[in-house]
Amino acid sequence: MKKLKEIMNRDVHSIHPIASVKEAADMMASLDLSVLPVCQDGKILGALTDRDMTRRIAATGRDPGTTFAKDIMNPYSAILWEEDSVKAAERIMEEKGTHWILVTDQDRTLVGIVSLGNIARTDNARAAGNVVRKISRSRKKVG
């Protein structure tokens, strides 16, 4: 069974908790990211997503230049260890309704990120479809 360290993206960027949301948005835009881990001294404090920015900044009229990443990040991020299995990532994605997992080493230091796309490129691409289906069922209907 494949481990997360075999499929994860190691080129992961993060932002400091007292960086502004504007800085985070600029970084996400320039790197074409939808999620940005919030870390201090290599330790994960949470994650900031484009959805967080939309819901907690744009929709509320807060100033992204004066609001800190820590103020709107999700502290309950999906986190697994690099030695965990791809199956464990699929299970956590389904449970948390997320398309990504932050990956740590044994010291709980951020070392990578696994996306649904990484899972789709594994030998069992069918699993990614199952995760998407389960996530989609758990979301509220629009319209």
- 32-36, 54-58, 93-97, 131-135: range with highest mean pLDDT: 32-36
Question: What is the mean predicted confidence (pLDDT) over 11-15?
Answer: 96
**In the beta sheet, which residues pair with residue 113?**
9, 102
pLDDT digits (tens, 9 = 90+) for 17-60: 999 999 999 999 999 999 999 999 989 999 999 999 999 998 89
pLDDT digits (tens, 9 = 90+) for 67-87: 999 999 999 889 999 999 999
Evaluate if residue 142 carries a pLDDT over 60. Answer: no
Give which of 61, 59, 69 is closest to 23, Cα–Cα.
69
Q: Specify the pLDDT at position 1.
A: 83
Give which of 110, 103, 105, 84 is closest to 2, Cα–Cα.
84
Q: Specify the pLDDT at position 122.
A: 77
Q: Give the separation between CA 65 and CA 20, rounded to whole angstroms.
A: 6
User: Do 86 and 1 touch, CB atoms closer than 8 A?
Assistant: yes
What global pTM score does this model have? 0.84
* Structural domains for the chain: 4-138 (3.10.580.10)
Other beta carbons within 10 angstroms of residue 112's beta carbon come to 19
pLDDT digits (tens, 9 = 90+) for 99-124: 899 999 999 999 999 998 888 887 66
User: Do 61 and 53 touch, CB atoms closer than 8 A?
Assistant: no
Q: Give the separation between CA 14 and CA 7, rounded to whole angstroms.
A: 19
Q: What is the three-state SS of 81-135?
A: ECCCEHHHHHHHHHHHCCCEEEEECCCCEEEEEEEHHHHHCCCCHHHHHHHHHHH
Percent of the chain scored above 70 by pLDDT? 85
Confidence band for 141, pLDDT divided at 50, 70 and 90: very low
